[in-house]
Chain A
Amino acid sequence: MAIWRDPDKRAVIYQVLVVAVLAWFVWSIISNTATNMEQRGLASGFDFLSTGAGFGIITTPFIPYTEESSYFTVFLVGLVNTIIVAAVGCFLALILGFIIGVARLSSNWLIQKVATFYIELFRNVPLLLQILFWYSAVLKPLPGPRDLHEAGDKVFLSLNNRGLIFAEPIGQEAMSTVWWALFAGIVLTFIVRALAKVRQAKTGKQFPVFYAGLGLIILMPLVVYFALGRPMDFEPAEMSRFALRGGVTIIPEFVALLLALVIYTAAFIAEIVRAGIQAVSHGQTEAASALGVKPNHRMRLVIVPQAMRVIVPPLTSQFLNLTKNSSLATAIAYPDLFSVFAGTTLNQTGQAVEIMAMTLAVYLTLSLLTSGFMNWYNSRIALVER
C-alpha cells in the first residue's frame, strides 16, 4: 500500500510538515529580529530592568517609587495598578451585572424596561469611547480645587478635576481592638453558619444566619468602636494656595477607567445572568411555589444555585475581558502595566522584544489564573451526576 493511502502514516507526514514549516517560520523571525536589532543598534537582554527609570508615575500604591527607581519597579507598579483596577472592576461589575440581570426579569414593567435600555445602550457603544467620555467629558471638565475651596479650608470630601479626594482615616492605638472585633465577627459568622447547618440537618429548624452575620460583622465592631470613644481620626485634606494637600486621592484616570469598565462589563454580565436564570426550567419555580417556598427564598435557594452552573463559564470570559480591557488605560494615561511598561519604558529603552514578552506573559498568566480559579469554582458547583 502506498504510504499516502494509510491515514496513520499520512497524519505523521502532515504533522512533520507542519512542524518543519513552523520551525522555519520561527527561526526566520528570530534571525530577522536579531539582524534588525543589530542594524538599528538596539540592545538586548534584561539588563535594562535594573537601570533607573527617571520618570514619575502619578499613583504608586503599595510600592515605594521615586524617579530613581529601576525599570523593574516600574513593571511592579504597573502590575499592581492593573491588578487593582481589574480586581475592583470585576467585583463591582459582578454586583451591578447581577442586579441589572435580575431587574431585566423583574415583574415590574418600568424596572424591566430600564434594565433592558441600560443593557442595550452600554453593550453597543465601544468601550474606548466610554472611557474617553468619562475621562475627558465628565471628570476633566469638573471645577478645580481652587474653584471649590478657599485657601485654608479643611476638606473632608471633594470631587474635582484632580480626582476624588477624601479625609485620610488614621487609627489611634485602640483601633486595633476594633479590627480584632471585626476579625472575630467574621470568624464567629463562619462558626454560626456551620452550627446552623448542623442544626438544620438534625432538627429541620432554620437559623437566620444572614442577620446574625450582619450583627456580628457590622454591628459588633461598630459597638466596640463607639464604646472605645471612636478611636479613628479623619485627617482632612487642607487647601493650600493652589492645591489640596493631604487626604487620600483617587486619581480621575482611575475613576474614569473603573466606571467605564464596570458599566460596560456589567451590561454583558446582566445578559449572562438573565440567560442563566431563564435556563432554569420553569417547573423549578412552580415546584418551589407549590412547596410554599417564599418568593425571595425561591430565588435564592432554588433558582440561583441552578442558574450559577449556566452563568459561571461565560462569566469567566467576561472577567478575562475586563482584565484585558483594562489595558485601554493607556488611552487616558492611567499608569497600568501597559501604559507605563509597554508604553513609557518601551519608548525610553527601545527594547521592544523583552518588554512585550514580559507584558504578554503577565496578561497570559492573569488569564490562566482567572480561568483556573473559575474552573475550580465551576467544578465545585457543577451538577454531580452518577
Chain B
Amino acid sequence: MAGGRIYSGDLPDQPAPMATEGPVAWLRDNMFNGVFNTVLTILMGLLLLWMVPPALNWLVFNANWTGGAEACRVNPDGACWPFVSARWEQFLYGFYEKSEYWRVNILLAVLAVGIVLLVFEKMPGRKYIAFFMLFIYPIMAFILLYGNEKLGLPIVDTPQWGGFMLTLVIALSGIVASLPLGILLALGRRSKMPIISLLSTIFIEFWRGIPLVAVLFMATIMFPLFLPPGMSFDQLLRAIIGVALFASAYMAEVVRGGLQAIPKGQYEGAMALGLPYPKMMRLIVLPQALKIVIPGIVNTFIGLFKDTTLVLIIALFDLLGIVQASIADPNWSIRSVPYSGYAFVAIVFWICCYAMARYSRYMEAKLHTGHKR
C-alpha cells in the first residue's frame, strides 16, 4: 500500500474555513446573501459614498472653526462655526441682561444635577429630589429668572428671555403643569360619573384634535378677549398656559393607558380594604400606573420639547427663533451661515431628544419584564 501515512497523537487544529468565520464570512452572511441583498448593499453603498463624505467634509473637515465672518467668506464650502461661537450667548440666554447670566447658570446647573440624580435609580432620597424638582425648583426658577426687588434681584422682563433658556422654560413649565392636570383628566375620563367623564373626554379630544399652532394663536389673540376688561397677561405666560393645556390632553391619554394596565384586582383589593376613592388612587393605583407610564411621559415631553420651536410663529424667540433672526444679520450674510445655524439647532435638539428617547427605551425595557423574542 503506497502513499499511506500514519500519525500518532492529535493533529494540530486547522483554522476554520474562510467561508464560515472572520470578516469575509460576516460580510457574506450579513450583506451579500443572495442577489437581492447584494444589489441593495451595492446601491446603498454608492448612495452613502455620494452623501456621507461631502456631509462630513462640510460639517467637520472643511468647516471654518476659527476666525470671524471673514474666514467664512474666504472659505464658503464648509460650515461657518464662528457664527455660532460669536453668538452663543444670545443662543443660550436670548436678550437676558448680561450681568444677570449667573442666575440662569445656577438654574441650569441645578437642573443638570437634578436630572443626573433622578436618572440613577439607586440614589438615596430619590423621592425628595423628585419632590424638589417638581415643586420647589419651578418656584425658585421663576424667582431667579424674573427677579425680585426685595431679594435684591433686578427684574428681567419676559420679552428679554430667549434662546435655549426660553425653550427650556416653556417645555419644562409645560410638562410640570400638564402632569397634574393630565392625571386629573385621565381619572375624570375613567370616572363612573357620566357628566365628569363626558366633559373630560370632550376636553381631551378637543385639544388633541387641534394643531399646536392654533393653540398658540388662540393664546395670543383670543386669550386677551376672554379676560375681564383691564386685566392682561404676559405674552410668554399665555403661551405657556396654551402649551400646558395642549400637553395635558396628551398626558391624560398616556396616564389613562397606565390606569387601564393596572389589574382590576388592585382596585378591588383597595376597595375591599375600605379605602375611599382618593386614597385608593393616591396609595394603590397611581403609584403603579405612573411608574409604568414613565416612558410615555418622557415621550410626551420629547414631543413637547420639539414643539416649543413653534413659539417663533407668535414672535417669541426660542432657540430656533433666535437663530432664525441671527441668520438675517447683514454682517453674516454668507452662503454657509443659514446652513450652519440650522445645523447647530438640529444638533442641539437631536442630542437632547435622543438622550431622552434612549432613557425612555431603557425604562421600557426595564419595566417590560415579559417574554421577549
Contacts and interface: CB of A to CB of B under 8 A. Distances in A.
Contact of A125 (B37, B41, B349): B349
B245 to A, nearest CB: 14
Contact of B349 (A15, A18, A126, A353): A126
B353 A364 contact: no
Given A278-B373, A330-B313, A367-B209, A126 B226 contact: no
A36 B324 contact: no
A124 B222 contact: no
A364 B349 contact: no
Nearest to A328: B213
A200 interface: no
B326 to A, nearest CB: 13
B310 interface: yes
Interface in A311-363: 320, 324-325, 327-328, 330-331, 338, 342, 346, 352-353, 356, 359-360, 363
Interface stretch (B106-114, B279-287, B339-347): B339-347
A133 B340 CA distance: 11
Given A108-B37, A127-B306, A132-B342, A114 B48 contact: yes
Contact of A11 (B192, B217, B306, B309): B192
Contact of B209 (A15, A19, A368): A368
A223 to B, nearest CB: 30
A337 to B, nearest CB: 10
Nearest to B308: A126
A133 B338 CA distance: 9
Interface string B309-335: 110110000001000100000000001
B218 interface: yes
B307 A356 contact: no
B40 interface: yes
A107 B30 contact: yes
A128 B309 contact: yes
A303 to B, nearest CB: 13
A129 B309 contact: yes
Given A137-B342, A360-B210, A129 B45 contact: no
B320 to A, nearest CB: 6
Given A18-B199, A109-B30, A324-B211, A346 B206 contact: no
A204 B354 CA distance: 51
Interface residues of B, number: 54
B2 interface: no
A332 B335 CA distance: 20
Contact of A121 (B33, B41, B212, B350): B350
Contacts of B324: 132
A22 interface: yes
Given A109-B31, A125-B346, A128-B312, A32 B226 contact: yes
Nearest to A343: B217
Interface of B: 30-31, 33, 37, 40-41, 44-45, 48, 192-196, 199, 206, 208-214, 217-218, 221-222, 224-229, 302, 306-307, 309-310, 312-313, 320, 324, 335, 338-339, 342, 345-346, 349-350, 353-354, 357, 373
27 contacts: A14-B193, A15-B193, A15-B194, A18-B196, A32-B225, A37-B225, A108-B37, A110-B41, A111-B41, A111-B44, A123-B357, A125-B346, A126-B306, A126-B345, A128-B312, A128-B320, A129-B349, A132-B342, A133-B346, A137-B339, A324-B212, A330-B213, A331-B312, A331-B313, A338-B213, A356-B217, A356-B222
